[in-house]
């Protein structure tokens, strides 16, 4: 039997993102409990990082999952932007692309897309403690933007379908592993293969980073933003082979962007 930790993002004194009185911590707890109940009905051993309005740090939440010796950690959040109504859709964050957490994230995203959300993809965020400090494959699901009215309407009107979609994505992944495609589910994601990225900008002001990210998204680039050492870094791609990263860097340079390769 698989063991899953379900984390409701934020809680207690940490409301998460807030929009017109709506608090992320409330949406995430309600959804986490609903997803966990569906998983339990399907034979999954579920551990929650919280079942009430209490605060634990992201590091502590990773430790709770580690102490419970679960096979996977799924953290549920809602997204937000500096400018309300400027972004929409779901995305799932992972420590690094190309591992089993990424496969789990893709399965969850595909199911949420079928409910009606725009699928913004799987995005590496190695700076997040809940992903970095967990000893098992971990994903952080951003279930729509709390500062987008259409996403909130979808969240409220199709809440049961959204909970079912997240559970279905998890179950689909677990079934694929049970069919013989898995190795060690407790392998630390930090031990996965190095990936190459193309950095397009680094900003102290997050709004500048988000503006560049939106511009690159509109142009069709697989872009993401991460916070590291005081800077919001805008990066494109996560390539296993340097040659592919070099080709992307050349493409971006031809489009007029200042770039350099990083890992």
Which residues are 142's β-sheet partners?
Answer: 77, 91
φ and ψ at 221, to 5 degrees?
A: -85, 145
* Two tokens, residue 136: 């098992």
Q: b/e per residue, 176-196, with b = 16+ CB within 10 A?
A: ebeeeeeeeeebbbeebeebb
238/225 Cα distance (integer angstroms): 12
Exposure string (b/e) for 198-219, b if CB count within 10 Å is 16 or more? bbbbebeeeeebbbbbbebeee
Catalytic residue among 142, 192, 219, 249: 142
Q: Give catalytic status of residue 91 as yes or no.
A: no
Rounded-to-10 torsion of CA 12, 168, 127, 24:
-30
Closest CA to 146 of 158, 157, 155: 155
The residues that are catalytic are: 142
């Amino acid at each position: 039997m698989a063991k899953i930790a379900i984390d409701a993002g934020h809680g207690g004194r940490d409301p998460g993102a807030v929009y017109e009185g709506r608090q992320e911590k409330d949406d995430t707890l309600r959804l986490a409990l609903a997803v966990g109940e569906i998983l339990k009905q399907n034979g999954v051993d579920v551990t929650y990082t919280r079942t009430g309005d209490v605060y634990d740090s992201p590091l502590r939440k990773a430790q709770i999952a580690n102490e419970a010796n679960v096979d996977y950690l799924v953290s549920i959040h809602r997204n937000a932007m500096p400018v309300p109504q400027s972004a929409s859709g779901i995305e799932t964050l992972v420590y690094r692309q190309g591992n089993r957490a990424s496969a789990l994230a893709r399965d969850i995203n595909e199911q949420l897309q079928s409910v009606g959300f725009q699928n913004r993809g799987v995005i590496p965020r190695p700076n997040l403690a809940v992903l970095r400090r967990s000893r098992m494959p971990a994903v952080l699901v951003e279930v729509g933007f709390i500062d987008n009215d259409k996403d909130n309407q979808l969240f409220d009107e199709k809440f049961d379908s959204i909970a079912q979609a997240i559970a279905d994505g998890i179950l689909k992944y677990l079934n694929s592993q049970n069919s013989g495609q898995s190795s060690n589910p407790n392998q630390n994601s930090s031990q996965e293969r190095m990936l190459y990225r193309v950095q397009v900008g680094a900003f102290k002001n997050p709004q500048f980073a988000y503006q560049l990210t939106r511009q690159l998204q509109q142009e069709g680039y697989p872009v993401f933003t991460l916070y590291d050492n005081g800077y919001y870094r805008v990066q494109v791609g996560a390539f296993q082979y340097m040659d592919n990263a070099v080709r992307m860097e050349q493409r971006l340079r031809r489009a007029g962007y200042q770039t350099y390769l990083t890992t």
